[in-house]
Structure 1
């Protein structure tokens, strides 16, 4: 995560930093869930293709 602009993160209060960390954690959680969901869907599709094609 790169800070945008010079000294943007240094002037931030503790509350701002905590809020940013919480948002980042939530985004990472959702990204992990979506990636796992798509991975499962792809695995199921591949298995179905192999069963149907073979």
Structure 2
């Protein structure tokens, strides 16, 4: 199984988030889900800066 390391950034929160996953699309959806209570959900301007296999 391949994993991807990713970096998310929010200008409005002035924060970065670094994580890893085997499914980037599913993981991004997780960060956007309000039920997860992640700080990344509060960022309306969250963007993926980079992803690496």
Which structure has greater strand proportion?
2
Which structure has greater helix proportion?
1
The alignment's TM-score, normalised by the length of structure 1, stands at: 0.23
Q: Which has the higher contact order (CA 8 A, sep 6+)?
A: 2
